Structure formats: C-alpha cells, structure tokens
Amino acid sequence: MRSVCAYCGVGCGVRVEQEAGQWRLAGDEAHPANRGALCIKGSSLIESLAFPERLLYPRWQGERLTWEGALDRLAGELARIIGESGPQSVALYLSGQLTTEDYYVANKLMKGFIGSPHVDTNSRLCMSSAVVAHQRAFGEDLVPACYEDLELADLVVLTGANTAWTHPVLFRRLQQARERRPGMKLVVIDPRQTMTASQGDLHLPLRPGSDVALWNGLCRYLLEQGLWDKAYVARHVAEFDGLAAELDRPCWHPEAVAAACDLPLCDLLGFYRLFGANPRTVTLFCQGINQSERGVDQAGCIINAHLLTGRIGKPGAAPFSMTGQPNAMGGREVGGLATQLAAHMGFDEESRDRLARFWGAPRLVSGPGHKAVALFEALHKGEIRALWVLGTNPAVSLPDSLRVREALARCELLVVSDVTADTDTARLAHLLLPAAAWGEKGGTVTNSERTISRQRAFLPPPGEARPDWWALTQLARRLGFAEAFPYEHEQQIFCEHAALSGFENDGARQFDISALAHLSREQYEALTPLRWPVNAAHPDGCDRLFADGRFATADGRARLVVAAPPAAPLQVAPGEGLPLLLNSGRLRDQWHTMTRTGHVARLQESEPWPTLRLGPASLLALGAEPGALLHLRSAQGEAHALAARDEGLREGEAFLPMHWSESYAAGSGVNRLLAPRVDPLSGQPAFKQEAVRVSLR
C-alpha cells in the first residue's frame, strides 16, 4: 500500500506492508519527492500510532456519547449560538495535518453555508507570509519550482531554513547533488550555525531581522553591476522604477547593509558575487523568513532578486518557499486560510458570485475572517462563542499561549476533533470527537512542490473514530444542508474540489486540477503523484510555473515590491532587564507540540527535555553548567528549560525549541514567552525574536 508521510512539507511517499502480522514501513522509490528515502521521523510512523490515550468515542465533558448524540447536540448548540449572536460567533481552526478533502468540506460548510468567515488554520503559523508574498508578486499563491530544481542549480541559497533538520530528505537530495557536482555552491543565511549552516560553502550569520537589508542590498548590487536581466524585466516584470528609486538610497549600499546585518563586508560581497555569477540559482526560504513582523516583505525581497535576474520558471532557477506540514499547500488550495476562498479565489464580487453559484451556497461570506492570532483574541473577548478545533493544539502552538489557553477555557462551546484526548487543547474541550488517524483514513495531500499524493488507509479506525470530513458532513446535514453535502466517500469531495478549480476558469487562476474532476472511485484509489496544474494544457502535471514568463496578474507581468527600512525598529530589541534575544524553532526528531512524536522512544533519545542553547559567554555570565535548570522571563511570561552550550550562536542570543509544553515538562513552552506580534499583511506570528532574561533556577 502506498501512502505519504504525515510529518513535513517534503511529502515523502511511503510503502506500508504487513509481514508476519506486523506492519512494516519503507520509503516509496516511485515517489518523486523522496525516491525511497525517509528520515527518522518518517521511518517511525508506525510506532507513532501507539497513542497513549487514544480517543475512541465522542465525549461530552467526560461522558461517553454516541456519534448521533454528539452530532445532534453539536448541531443544536451551534444553531442556538448562531440564532442568538449570528454566524460570525462560530469559528473553525484547522490544521495542515488534515487531508484536502477534510479541509474542503470544512471551508464549504463555514464560508458557504453557515456564513462565518472565521476559518483559519495552523498553516497561518508556518507560511502565510510566503502566501501573501506570492500573491503580491505573481498575482496568485503559486510556488514556481520543484525539488529537482535544487539538484539542477549551480547555487542554492537556504535562508531562514535549517533544512538538514526540518526537511531532512530534501536536504539529503541536495547533498547528493553536490556530491555528483562538486562545483555546486551552497550559501546558508541564518543567525545560528545550524547543522545546515555547517554544510555550506558560505554561512552568513546575520543579525536577526536584517533580511530586508541583505536582500535589498543584493538587488542594488545586481543593478549597479549590470547583473540583472533587462530584457526579462522589460517584458515580464512591472514596478521596476519604484524599486530602483528605493534601492538608490544610501542605506542599501554594501557598507551600510553589512553594518545593518552585522556581517563582514567581504562575506556579504562574496554572497552577492556568487548570486550575480550563477544564473541557475534557487533560493529556498522557510520559517526564519516567514515568522517575522516583516515576513511578507522579507519573502518579497527574495522574490525581487529572482525577478530582476529572470531566475524563475527555468530549470534550477527559482525562489522556493518550503512549507512545514504535509498538507499546508492543500489547505491553501481549498481556502483553509481566513484570507482566501476555495480554489485560490479571493473575495472580489466575481469570485464570490462564481463560488456561490458552484456551491449553491446560501450564505457565502463577504470578506476575510480573523487570522489565527486575532481569532483567539476574539474568542477571549467572547465575540466568538463556539470554536471547533480539528487536528491541532493551539493551547501550545500559538504565541502568548497562556492567554490562548485562557481564551479556550472561557469558550462557551469548545469542540476538539483529535486522535488523542491527551493534548493541552483537548483537555479543555466540552465535546471531544474521535478522529481517524494517519493510516486509518484516505484522502489527498499536496507537498511544497505542488505534488498531490494519495494518503491511503491500511488500518481500520479503532473504536468509533471517523475521518474529519465525515463528521463535518454529518453536521452539515443536521444543519439543513444535506443536498450540498452528499459525500459518502472522499473521492466525491476530491472530484468536486477539482471541478471547482476549473469552473469558469479561463486560465486566470493557475491552480487548476480540472483534469481530475471525473476520476472514478478506482482511478482515485490508484492516483499517482502529480504536480498541479493538471488540466487540458498539462494533463500529466507541470514541473515549473511561469516558464513562458506569464504570471497570474491581470497584465501577465510579475510585480516587484518596495520594502523600505522600517520607520521604527519592529523587532524586539534586548535591553535592560531583558538582555538576551531568544530565537525559537524545530528539532530534527520532534514534531509540533509532540502529540505524535512525544511517545515514540527513539525520537526522544536525542533531546528528551526542553533545552535552552546559550553561547559560552552567556553561560559563563550566568555561572551555569550545561544541564542546569534555568528560569526564563520575558515581558510576556515565564518558562523553564535546561542549559546547553552552543558555540554556533551569536553572543547575546539564545535558542529554545518550540515543541515542549506542560504535558511533557512542567513550566516549559517557548510560546509562554512570546508576545503575539504578527506581520501586518499575513498575520503570521513573529516566533523568532523575543527579549528575555535568563537566571539559574
């Protein structure tokens, strides 16, 4: 049986077989993402299914209910709240763990039939800045490249991405390409000397938050040195004059940029020369770029450099946003973000009218809903009275997590669908609904290179666990929308989603998988991985977008964006009382809030406790030995962690992994310390910078 890994945005294919009564899992050699390779997390997927407290039956405040009883009660409570306070008083919070089919039904129900725009997803936390940057530059949320481009490039730039740990199989592909072609260069831009940075030909440990300066400085250098593609820009790119005028300012001169980034001028110019000299350049960016108050601008400046040089839509040349989760991209396709409608449509009148007619939707929403951080603030204020959380753990994963927890505890009706009752969010729920886990349900997911893959069930769901799309469908029927929710199998949902992508789409929207709209059940079951678009022009999928220089804007030209220096410092600056700058991020062997990995023994081996990494001088100043218990304080809150020495950190900076919570170590959790600061355009939280004080406990 072929399926897909449940963990990261690489989207590796797996093969699952039974041998002597035991399930065995291996990488799928036929899958284009991984060609048979798996990392330690992927290879431990079967072990992860032994959840310590599997949720087997619906429960209302601890009491077991039948599904009938639970859904009747949920429908009744929602109808009452909507009747009293209107549809905007109810919300959904979704997850990149859901299948595209789950996501599709959730969005259709809320945005088309209940009439609430407040549907957001934990994907807001990982790549929503890249989404907005794509929309600004390309006219639509489109990832131009495929993984093969990383192997074809002569220069790969990894920025804000510890790929060796967070997307290990993709990094292994890159390493193998470098072994085959030793002339290929790797530049890593990251404040920390990570495992990834240690493999680079050049590491730029820039000052956190100085990415706009670095990339604007590069664009100025390319213009000054005549290293840009004038013909490409003239034909395919707009807004050049505005960018050129901005880049004329002295603050983007190399000396000024080197000072702003706290980098040696020779290293900065070394990077600029490498970029200028290599037409086959891929710049891969991830959370270090996106999770910032300037995430959209930072991603936009990277895209600018590629547009100026025409390095997009060609083999081995592209800006490339990696997603964190297995189906962050699928969620984007169906409107999982509060700021989009399904099939990459926006809230303009024409799109709304088209979608309302396609769905037969009586209450299509008129505009965007709350983005994640704002959604939980609305919950705290009581403006949202009912929330259904599916497949995620916001009590831990959002910034200012203690306030989020408070908001969840205050909620009049909190429904949680999950595979386990043992999460910080599930413990606060009024109604717990048992979800089918990975391996127990079918559907599709889309990885970072636009490849749609089938996730397949090889186990029966235990107890009364059911797929999320099924629970959402049953609720829709109880709310009076049976005709529009006839689904008995995920294939029907997928085909409707595919048909919508091609509905009245004359090519204006490049997300188009209409060639898959008429798959039979057998064809759906046998579906092999395909990179979208999959339509009449690309019946077998498409490796690269924009190969013809046409973008998804009204005039077909991409847009350069102007990112000026901020009028006031946006990033948190360490100061008196809070002298250290704290960074947060992922470990190689853990996943999200550990709900899937925390009980897998071999994933616990490398780092069993939350550990604050500090430079030697910071440790010395504290008088702390590695392993000492530390107390961290920020303006927002407090947390505990063990001390560790890390010589790859800039002095005055510290790093704390994002995974731990109360459930795994008392008083731990980086999000207790982080203020809910967000990018104003994307709403993505700035998880990467917080001023803290550390003391011995």
Q: Report the interface residues with ligand SF4, using CB under 6 A.
A: 5, 7-8, 10-12, 34, 38-39, 41-42, 167-169
How many residues in total does the chain contain?
697
**Closer to ligand SF4 at the Cβ: 45 or 237?**
45
User: What is the token pair recorded at 574?
Assistant: 């360490």
29 or 255, CB closer to ligand SF4? Answer: 29
What the block records as the tokens of 256 is 């000024």
Query: Measured at CB, which residue is nearest to ligand SF4?
Result: 42
Min dist. Cβ of residue 328 to ligand SF4 (A): 12
Q: For ligand SF4, which is the closer residue by CB, 107 or 194?
A: 194
Contacts of 347 (CB under 8 A, 6+ apart): 341, 365, 366, 367, 368
CB of 94 to ligand SF4, least distance (A): 20
Nearer to ligand SF4, 167 or 672 (CB): 167
The answer to whether the beta carbons of residues 505 and 355 sit under 8 Å apart is: no
Q: Which C-beta is closer to ligand SF4: that of 34 or that of 423? A: 34
Task: Give yes or no for a contact between 25 and 1, defined as CB atoms under 8 angstroms apart.
Answer: no
Taking the C-alpha atoms of residue 535 and residue 498, their distance in angstroms, rounded to an integer, is 10
Nearer to ligand SF4, 42 or 391 (CB): 42
Residue closer to ligand SF4, measured from CB, 13 or 316: 13
Residue 262: how many CA atoms within 13 Å on its side-chain side?
A: 10
Q: Closest approach of Cβ 447 to ligand SF4, in Å?
A: 8
Sheet strands side by side (includes 443-446):
443-446, 451-455, 530-531
* Residue 26 Cβ vs ligand SF4, minimum distance, rounded to whole Å: 11
Amino acid at site 189: I
Smallest distance, ligand SF4 to C-beta of residue 43, A: 7
Q: How far is the CB of 38 from ligand SF4 (least distance, A)?
A: 4
Q: How far apart are CA 330 and CA 597, in angstroms?
A: 23
State the Cα–Cα distance between residues 124 and 120, nearest whole angstrom: 7
| Residue 138 Cα distances to 51, 376, 556, 677, angstroms | 43, 31, 9, 27
Residue 8 beta carbon to ligand SF4: minimum distance, rounded to whole angstroms: 3
Which residues are CB-contacts of 620 (< 8 A; sequence separation ≥ 6)? none
Residue with Cβ nearer ligand SF4 (34 or 455): 34
Q: In terms of C-beta density within 10 A (0-12 exposed, 13-18 middle, 19 or more buried), how is residue 85 classed?
A: middle
């530059």: which residue's tokens? 137
Minimum distance, C-beta of residue 42 to ligand SF4, in the bound complex (Å):
2
Q: Integer distance in angstroms from the first to the last C-alpha of the chain?
A: 51
Q: How far is the CB of 14 from ligand SF4 (least distance, A)?
A: 8
Task: Write the DSSP assignment of 410-424 as a string of letters.
Answer: H-SEEEEEESBS-ST
CB of 143 to ligand SF4, least distance (A): 16
Which residue, 270, 299, 274, is CA-closest to 285?
299
CB of 114 to ligand SF4, least distance (A): 34
11 or 288: CB nearest ligand SF4: 11
Which is closer to ligand SF4, CB of 178 or CB of 380? 178
Backbone φ and ψ of 69, nearest 5°? -65, -40
Alpha carbon distances (Å) from 87 to 215, 506, 562: 44, 33, 38
Q: Which of 558, 554, 552, 562 is nearest to 296 (CA)?
A: 562
Nearer to ligand SF4, 172 or 550 (CB): 172
Which contiguous run of DSSP H or E holds residue 453?
strand 451-455
Q: How many CB atoms lie within 10 A of CB 425?
A: 23
Pick 432 or 445: Cβ nearer ligand SF4: 445
Spatial separation of the C-alpha atoms in residues 162 and 603, rounded to whole Å:
18
Q: How far is the CB of 323 from ligand SF4 (least distance, A)?
A: 11
Which strand ranges, in their side-by-side order, compose the sheet holding 90-94? Answer: 63-64, 59-60, 431-434, 413-418, 386-390, 90-94, 119-121
